[in-house]
Structures are given as C-alpha cells and as structure tokens.
A = this chain, B = another copy of it.
Amino acid sequence: MISWKNLDTLQAYKTLSALKGHVDLTDAMAGEMGAKRVREYSVPMAGGLTFNYAARPVDGEVLAALKALAAEAQLIEKYEALFNGEIINTGEKRLVLHQLTRGQLGKAVVVDGVDKRAFYVKEQEKAAQFAKRVHSGEIANAAGEKFTTVVQIGIGGSDLGPRAMYLALENWARQNGTFKMEARFISNVDPDDAASVLKSIDVSRSLFVLVSKSGTTLETLTNESFVKDALRKAGLEPARHMVAVTSETSPLARSSDYLAAFFMDDFIGGRYSSSSCVGGVVLSLAFGPEVFARFLSGAAETDKLATNPDVTKNAALLDALIGVYERNVLGYPTTAVLPYSQALSRFPAHLQQLDMESNGKSVNRFGEAVAYPTGPVIFGEPGTNGQHSFYQLLHQGTDIVPLQFVGFRQNQAGMDVDIQGSTSQEKLCANVVAQIMAFACGKKDDNPNKAFAGGRPSSIIIGDQLTPESLGALLAHFENKVMFQGFCWNINSFDQEGVQLGKVLAKRVLAHETDGALKAYSELFGI
C-alpha cells in the first residue's frame, strides 16, 4: 500500500539531515582513496553510459541513509504504480504514461478499451511509414519534388526536447549516412522567429509539423498562420505542406488542413513527449525511423534499469536521492548541467524545462504547502565554453552549485586535429576530468585570490559516443531522476498550473480589459 508523505515527516530524512557536512569532499577525493572512489562509485546505465558519482558528497553512511529514504518514501513502488497506470498526476486526474511510448514495463494499461502501449506503437509506425514515403518521394510537393526540410512548429515541450535531440544527432546522422532532411524549429510568438526561419529555407520543399496536444496553443496556432501565409504567398497550398501532431480529440485531429495527423494523448506531458510522436515525427523525418527506434530502445532500457530497488545499481534513483540530499540537507539552490559535447548544446535548455516545470512546486499532492525547498534552478552550457564563461563563479563564488557533467570518449563527426601532442577530443576529455578535480579538491595558495576552496560536488555521465541509444538513455535518465525527486518531495511533477495565470492576464491585456498597473504597463507598450 503506497502512502504519500511529506519528505520532512520521514524518519529516514531525519537520519539523513543529521549527516549534514558528513563528507569532506576535498579529503575524500585526495590520494589513492580518491582513486578508489572513482573506480567504485559508478553505476552502469543503458546505451553504454556510466553514472560516476565519486565527486558527490556521499559515503557508505550517507548512501545507507539514502537507501533507507528510498525505501521509506516507497520510490520504486510509486514508479511501479505510475507505469502500471495509476492516476499519478492527481491534480489533473491523469495517468502518466510517457514510459509506455518506448516499452511495456509493467502490466497492460487499458483506457476506454484501448491498450495504450499498442496505441503509442501504432502512432510511431504511422510516423515511420509517413517518413519513408516522404524520403522516397512518394509524398512530395505539388511540383513532384522531394521535401528537403522539416520545420517543427511548437513551443515548450513540443520544441525544447525535439530540438535538443535533433542537434544531438545531426552530426552523428551525417557521419553514419542516415541523415535525411534538415530540421528547423519555430517556437516563439515573436514574429521575428518565424520570419527568420522562413527566410532561411525553401518553403516549396519544406514540410511543417504543427505540434499542439490541445490544438489550442496560441503561440503555435499563430505561427501556423504565419507559415500558411508564407506558403500561400509563394503560390503553394498549405495543406500539402503540413502535418499535425496532436491528441485525437483536438480540432487539428481530423482536419483537411493537414496531410496527416499523428496522435499523442493527455497521459504524455509536454516536457515528457520527446519519445512520443512529438519527437518521433520530426526525428524520423530528419534521420529515418530506424534512428528514432534506436533512440527509443536506449530510453526503454533506462526505464527498466530504474525499476531496480538497489540504489547503488539504479543511476536515476541514486542521482535523484543525492540531489535531494544536496538540495534539502546541504541547502544548494541551483544545479548546473555541463555537457562536454557541442552536440548537446541545447540539452540543458530541455532539462531546464523538464526539471523546473516538473518540480518547481510549493504544494504537495494534497495541495498543502510544503515546508522545504523543492526543485532547484537548472542552467547550463556546453563545456569548454562554460569554462570561459561562468565557471569563475562555480569555482570561487560564494554559493556552491552542484554540477552534472556529461562526456564522451569519441566525437561524432570523425574530424580532428593533433595540436601540441593531443587531439581536440583528448583536450575536451582532459578538460572535463580536470574540472571535476578542481571543483572537488580546490587548491591552496598564499594569494587568496588564486586559492580554490574546493568541496564543490559533481557527478559525470560518461559514454563512448553520443549515439541514438545513448541519447535515449540520457533523456530517460533525467526524466526518471526528476520523477523520483518529485516523489521524495511529495509533489505532483506532472502538472504545470503555474503557467496559467500569465495566459489569463495576457488575454485580458489583448482584450483591453485591464486597469491599474496592468493597464499602465500596457500603455508603455502602446497596446
């Protein structure tokens, strides 16, 4: 029997809280003891990845407390409830089924007579078939020319995840001969966003993927109109250039405005939708459906590994628990995500949504205010760029920011140069290794301006190469981590009521139904 309790009511949390400052990271990572930690504090992940947490502030005692917390908070039981189809998104009274888009983890989940796994697979197959027909030229423009570009129109989860995935695999696909079509993305209601994308493509050979679960997202519908205008002005018929990704009940679902429609449902939250048709259509078009299938397999394998109740063998669970320890016991308000891979340049922006929109909540599942911090602020840029930017504060600032590194032994494009005795790839790897140690151990110096306090925790996810499988594993790892943390905090990680008020007020401004400061601000903008 699952019980939903606040973190600060758990006995294990009291035990954990008593371990504040228990591990001196600088000491722990020094000498051969440190080397032993690096070799031992490691968890295999899917897609050939490894989660190494040697430089996070834990030891046997802290790990035991985290294990007790996982058990008392029933984290694995709650995950099982989720993938077996219980209503975990209680606020909106919805199931949470994004894991089903990549595999069947538990029992069949049937809603209104529909097996949901079968439903998601069917839509993926539709997307795969559609992509093949586009690639073969069977589906072409009015002049019979093949489509060369796919443009995703969507915002939030319909943009950030798919865009990050596209950038992550673009070079890999070119190098591995599976690159099919350029992808571009239009998201912002700022008309300069759509204008800029449209100017850079040949609209006559572009296919537009309109993504909105509800079919009512104002930014997306506005950009759709913008694009349709451009198509018409170019003498093209919009319906020959557009497909929809939406829910079956949306106004877009059975419209003749689209070449085809692909379906998701209310059980896939926007920020969890990259492995549904929201990511599947654009990525299958860009790289071929086989690549997308490999991405899904990495995610499915990750989901399976996350069912392991042994915290030292379950990377997502362990990552989540250490994060809770850092946030609630050690009091760190921010986390940086630092991929040493240019291909992951927009992955931090995806994680920013995934994490902050899921766990940036102040009330528990019963609507009661919680008395402890929940989700941290997440930010990040690729290393080595970040090193030459904000790492100064991370090393020597007054606040400690836990760090999540990601790195790969090989690059994707297969081009490299040897300068001063090492390749660029070796330099990249040497830098991330050096940073972990600089953060953990610091450096004493007689000049305090040149001294590094150390004690700044990090973990690293390491792989051979960023491939479809490892990308799927990476994506699912963080989804599962965020889910486990939400369970610890006893919050609903699957709604986003915090986005509503702004929408309501914006409508009021556009309808000129304002007074007071809202009216005064509107006047400043002349609207």
Contacts and interface: CB of A to CB of B under 8 A. Distances in A.
A35 B517 contact: yes
A409 interface: yes
B384 A433 contact: no
Contact of A450 (B160, B422, B442, B497): B497
Given A32-B516, A360-B397, 20 more contacts: A30-B517, A34-B516, A187-B385, A188-B342, A190-B342, A191-B413, A195-B413, A218-B420, A229-B417, A334-B377, A356-B393, A357-B392, A360-B396, A361-B397, A363-B396, A430-B525, A431-B502, A435-B505, A437-B517, A449-B495
Contacts of A434: 502-506, 508-509, 518
A225 interface: yes
A342 B382 contact: no
Contact of A390 (B189, B360, B425): B360
Residue of A343, A362, A433 most packed against chain B (CB within 10 A):
A433
Q: How many A residues touch the partner, as a band?
A: 35 or more
12 contacts: A52-B524, A171-B192, A218-B427, A219-B384, A222-B419, A357-B393, A359-B393, A362-B398, A372-B398, A430-B506, A430-B522, A434-B509
Nearest to A188: B342
Given A155-B385, A430-B527, A189 B397 contact: no
A501 B342 contact: no
Given A225-B419, A356-B393, A38 B192 contact: no
Contacts of A414: 195
B392 A498 contact: yes
A376 B222 CA distance: 36
Contact of A37 (B221, B225, B424, B517): B517
A381 to B, nearest CB: 6
A501 B394 CA distance: 12
Contact of A381 (B219, B349, B396): B349
A389 B522 contact: no
A251 interface: no
Top 9 nearest A-B pairs by Cβ distance? Answer: A360-B393, A156-B388, A34-B517, A434-B505, A360-B397, A38-B520, A379-B379, A195-B413, A395-B498
Most buried by B among A421, A497, A498, A508: A498
A210 to B, nearest CB: 14
A393 B352 CA distance: 10
A370 B341 contact: no
A113 interface: no
Contacts of A55: 517
- From A37, A368, A427, A448, residue with most partner B Cβ within 10 Å: A427
Given A187-B385, A434-B506, A501 B395 contact: yes
Interface string A440-469: 111100011110110000001010000000
A393 B375 contact: yes
A195 B515 CA distance: 54
Contact of A392 (B155, B436, B499, B521): B499
B342 A413 contact: no
A149 interface: no
A141 interface: no
Given A174-B199, A352-B390, A434-B518, A342 B398 contact: no
A429 B16 CA distance: 47
Contact of A517 (B54, B188, B353, B396): B54
